[in-house]
Amino acid sequence: MLTIGKLDLDNKLGGCYILAKQQMRILNLEEPETLAEVQGLIISGRSAEKYRLFLSDAVWAENLQQVFSRRMPIFGLGYGLLLLSEQIGGENGLGQKGLNITVTAEFGREAQAETGEVLIPAYGGKPLAGIGYANLRIAEVGPNVGILGWDRGEAVLVRQGNYLGASFYTDIQQNLEIYDYFFRMVSDYRRYK
């Protein structure tokens, strides 16, 4: 059984749970050392300030850099996308070898949540409900990054190699479709590694 780590920047972690259909175990990460136990990582966040607070913890940042060096599948949702992005505005992000995208985010202002429907053509045109943020946008996409989903004409779901990023947030218990896609990425990674 594969173990996927779930790192919630807002620290709203529940208990560990199993997705038997996908043969996946979701492990909520509360200590940086537990990153060594996972074959894939989901990073989610709903607050720019919690993202900044997370970055101030050198132990977490160092352990996350080790995860990047392993090149294992990582899915950044909402403000978790910032940890995967090579550029945040005009500055280098933590994921310097992560997604070749530039994300804009306004700090110091409360995140303004807005509901949306993400159109993912690979799903046959069925929109996926998600919560977006007015102050978090994928501003630029590098040439080697695939755009998988759109909302109101903007790229909101991207993939580059083993990295998947979404500028929206959707919960694993409400919308399993996007997570199914990520779980297949993790399974492929383990099979061909």
Element (DSSP H or E) covering residue 177: helix 176-192
Across the range 24-52, mean pLDDT stands at 83
Residue 73 has pLDDT above 90, yes or no: yes
Across the range 43-59, mean pLDDT stands at 79
Across the range 155-179, mean pLDDT stands at 84
Residue 24 has pLDDT above 90, yes or no: no
Residue 15 has pLDDT above 60, yes or no: no
Q: Are 22 and 57 in contact (CB under 8 A)?
A: no
Residue 109 has pLDDT above 60, yes or no: no
For residues 128-139, b (16+ Cβ closer than 10 Å) or e, as one string?
Answer: bebbbbeebbbb
Q: Which residues contact 100 (CB under 8 A, 6 or more apart)?
A: 86, 141, 142, 143, 144, 145, 160
**What pLDDT shows up at residue 147?**
93
pLDDT tens digit sequence for 110-163: 556 677 777 777 766 677 777 777 778 899 999 999 999 888 888 999 999 999
Question: Rounded to an integer, what distance in angstroms lies between the CA atom of residue 153 and that of residue 119?
Answer: 10
Q: Are 69 and 58 in contact (CB under 8 A)?
A: no
Residue 29 has pLDDT above 80, yes or no: yes
